Amino acid sequence: MSERPKKKILIVDDEDRNLRLLSLILSNYGYDFVAARNGAEAVETACKLLPDLVLLDIMMPGMDGYEACRRLKADGLTAHIPVVMVTALEDRESKLKGLEAGANDFLSKPVDSSELMVRVRNLLKVKEFEDYLAHHNTILAEQVQEKTKELRESYIDTIYRLTLAAEYKDEDTASHIRRISLYTRFLAKTMGFTDEQADIMLYASPMHDVGKIGIPDSVLLKPGGLTSEEWEIMKTHPHIGGRILERSNSPIIKSANIFALNHHERWDGSGYPAGLKGEAIPIEGRILNIVDQYDALRSRRPYKPAFDHKKTFDIITKGDGRTMPSHFAPDILQAFQDTQAELERIFEEHKD
Ligand code: C2E
Ligand code: SIN
Ligand code: SIN
Ligand code: FE
């Protein structure tokens, strides 16, 4: 609360004599003033100039002081401006009416200049403090918002880097992560999830294979097919991922845990690790199962070359023995067929 511009006071009175007297007192004390001659003019001027205080006569032709006060207090723009009612009426009734209209203080006519100044000064002080608080709160809210955004960004960055670390060995990392995110968000929206839920899945889905971090390189990076023993080891990766991501309060990590545990379950019950069937498989698992296979088939792996869209589409929709249409939830397989062009577009746009 340092050096500030002169306070501006709106004087409202229908009589010239009163206007002159009040403005004289106010300017002697160093305040600026504007005048209005009735309630309607007062409300209009207050909205336009946002004075620091209003000195309001009650009995005026047209809109009276009560109504003007009510309107000022009802408008969010002017509600915080203190109103002092200046009245010849001493009776309890009219004061009560003034209070009901929202007046902050009263002055009786004839106006005593010292009393006027004490009341004006007090109310201005209160208003100044309120303005300061409101301003301070706005700044605080902005700072909190900025910090929250920073925190969210660094959180997502951390997730992203941990996912990269987990994939470092067997994937063409960054663009693979981006693709899994984008296909999953796209299919989730197609299946009716809200933007907010689909965005959580955008961040959560690429963590589904973090459990591969616990698989020995001799298995993970093996150029050819796996022995049954190696396959048993490979099949532990959803469980390992689930453990890494369990018991978090973060909606993104919670979602990632569901993706990790369920992305190799199959609709017909032939998947792993739990052999869940049909609706028992969380929808995240049903979505990611198809998305994961689409991307794995399109990509080169230590054990396989990359396939084109057509071949990949045929393996998923017609089956090749290893993959069969009965593995997929029928509604999601249908959505995959209907929107295949978009999945292809995402792959082409985000290949390395
Ligand atoms: P991944 O390479 O990310 O593959 C993910 C899923 O895509 C596979 O899950 C499978 O459903 C599908 N997929 C990948 N390549 C093919 C393919 O050539 N044909 C068909 N029909 N589907 C394919 P799955 O089978 O549960 O495998 C999980 C992970 O196990 C794979 O992840 C990969 O890391 C590893 N893996 C699977 N098979 C082999 C293999 O023959 N050799 C090695 N070294 N690793 C394998
Ligand atoms: C992430 O994996 O968390 C980031 C996904 C993205 O690229 O937006
Ligand atoms: C991961 O996100 O950790 C791996 C994703 C994948 O290999 O499909
Ligand atoms: Fe996997």
How far is residue 74's CA from residue 85's CA, in Å, rounded to a whole number?
17
Instruction: Write out pLDDT tens, residues 14-50.
Output: 999 999 999 999 999 999 999 999 999 999 999 999 9
* pLDDT over threshold 80, residue 1: no
- The pLDDT tens digits of the residues spanning 193-208 come to 999 999 999 999 999 9
CB 174 within 8 A of CB 164: yes
**What are the structure tokens assigned to 267, written together?**
């609709």
Instruction: Give nearest CA residue, ligand 1 atom 16.
Output: 297
Question: Quick one: tokens of 213?
Answer: 């971090």
Ligand 2 center from residue 164 Cα (angstroms) = 10
For tokens 């809210």, the residue is: 141
Q: Could you check whether the bond before residue 110 is cis, i.e. omega within 30 degrees of 0?
A: yes
Q: Residue 57: which of 93, 96, 103, 3 has the closest Cα?
A: 103
Ligand 3 is surrounded, with C-beta below 6 A, by 163, 166-167, 171, 180, 206-210, 292
Cα-to-centroid distance, 36 and ligand 4 (Å) = 76
Nearest CA to ligand 2 atom 5: 203
Q: What is the pLDDT of residue 172?
A: 62
Least confident of 94-103, 182-191, 234-243: 94-103
Compare 91 and 323 and report the one with higher pLDDT.
323
| Ligand 1 atom at minimum distance from 264 CA | 26
DSSP 3-state assignment of 189? Answer: helix
Residue nearest to atom 7 of ligand 3 (CA): 209
pTM above 0.85, yes or no: no
d(CA 178, CA 348): 12
* % residues pLDDT > 90 (the chain): 79
Ligand nearest to the CA of 201: 2
pLDDT in tens, 79-130: 999 999 998 767 788 889 999 999 999 998 888 999 999 999 999 999 888 8
Q: How far is CA 301 from the centre of its chain?
A: 39
For residue 164, the tally of other CB atoms under 10 A from its CB is 15
Return the pLDDT at 89: 63
C-alpha–C-alpha distance, residues 120 and 127, integer Å? 10
Q: How far apart are CA 54 and CA 5, in angstroms?
A: 17
Note the Cα 317 to chain centre separation in Å: 39
Q: Which atom of ligand 3 is nearest to the CA of 163?
A: 3
- Whole-angstrom Cα distance, residue 301 to residue 91? 92
- Hey, which bits of the chain come out as E strands? 8-12, 32-36, 53-57, 83-87, 105-108
Q: How many whole angstroms from 238 Cα to the centroid of ligand 1?
A: 13
Angle at 329 between CA 325 and CA 333, to 5 degrees: 60
**Ligand 3 centroid, distance to 175 Cα (angstroms):** 11
Taking 80 as the threshold, does the pLDDT of residue 2 lie above it? no
Angle between helix axes 340-349 and 173-190 (nearest 10 degrees) is: 160
**CA 323 – CA 16 distance, rounded (Å):** 93
Q: In the structure, which protein residues have their CB atom closer than 6 angstroms to any atom of ligand 1?
A: 170, 222, 225-226, 234, 264, 292-293, 296-297, 301-304, 315, 320, 322-323
SS3 304: strand
How far apart are the CA of 278 and the centre of ligand 1, in A? 22
Ligand nearest to the CA of 293: 1
pLDDT given for residue 260 in this prediction: 97
DSSP-based three-state secondary structure for 113: helix
205 Cβ below 6 A of ligand 2: no
Nearest-atom index, ligand 3, CA of 210: 3
Q: Are 273 and 222 in contact (CB under 8 A)?
A: no
Distance of CA 343 from the midpoint of ligand 3 (Å): 17
